Amino acid sequence: MTGKLYAISTGPGASDLITVRASRVLATLDVVYAPAGRKGGDSLALSIVREYLGEHTQVCCRHFPMSADSAEKEEVWDAVAAELQSDVESGKRVGFITLGDAMLFSTWVFLLKRLQNPDWLEIIPGVTSFSAIASRSATPLAMETQSLAVISCTAPEAEIRRALEQHDSLVLMKVYGRFARIKCLLQEANLLDCALMMAEATLPGEQCWRELSAINDENPLPYFSTILINKQWGRERK
């Protein structure tokens, strides 16, 4: 088989934070698949990489539903995986782009499960949103013997509480729509003063909050909002 599939991580948002390897591969693609949050909507991942695409590259946007309907999601994952494989089998150089890193909380993983890691696949890593936030806010993710946990705020409260208790540093992802609940958990754990939140890191709309207690729980947050906690660093900096 002469075709090739690349799962390309686009990084946190700024177009100059993709890797050199990703930029070189993007320039050679015959077709690139980009995820869109809604049907007919824009793709943030595509906006990040557009300047690196060759003139001949065909762009295919695919909507991945965010609903709780598992059957609907499975149908889309099956269909897109089949498209990717078909293009590779026809000899094309194909890319699937995804925000952050392809192997962290990414739609790509569900496609990988269906494709089964064939020898015509290469996965290109990228800068994660939380490493970008750590740099932008000058907050260490972990130091010396500290443990670091990456937690989705969709997890059960008991698991989040346990992570807050057991780990020295934490990344709380998928905060959108769940901030009020997470804020209460941080207050219970006496960690509000050790936490900061950033939204849309490295993008023009970037916002950073270092006093989570002052945030109005009723105001909607940007979708890409993440909380960093480093217990030692946060307490020493106060």
Residues 236, 234: Cα–Cα separation, whole Å: 6
Question: For residues 62 and 76, is the Cβ–Cβ distance under 8 A?
Answer: yes
- Smallest CA-to-CA distance from 77 within 105, 108, 104, 117 is with 108
d(CA 45, CA 96): 10
Q: Is 124 helix (H, G, I), strand (E, B) or coil?
A: strand
- The whole-angstrom separation of Cα 115 and Cα 110 is 9
Q: Which residues of the chain have pLDDT under 50?
A: none
What's residue 40's pLDDT?
58
What the chain holds in terms of domains, given with CATH numbers, is: 4-127 (3.40.1010.10), 130-237 (3.30.950.10)
98-143 residue pLDDT tens: 999 999 999 999 999 999 999 999 999 999 999 999 999 999 999 9
Instruction: Collapse the DSSP code of 186 into the 3-class scheme (helix H, G, I; strand E, B; otherwise coil) and give the result.
Output: helix
- Residue 167: phi, psi to the nearest 5? -110, 150
Report pLDDT digits (tens) over 187-199.
999 999 999 999 9
pLDDT of residue 1: 66
pTM of the model: 0.92
Q: What is the DSSP letter of 213?
A: G
Give the bridge partners for 62, in sequence order.
35
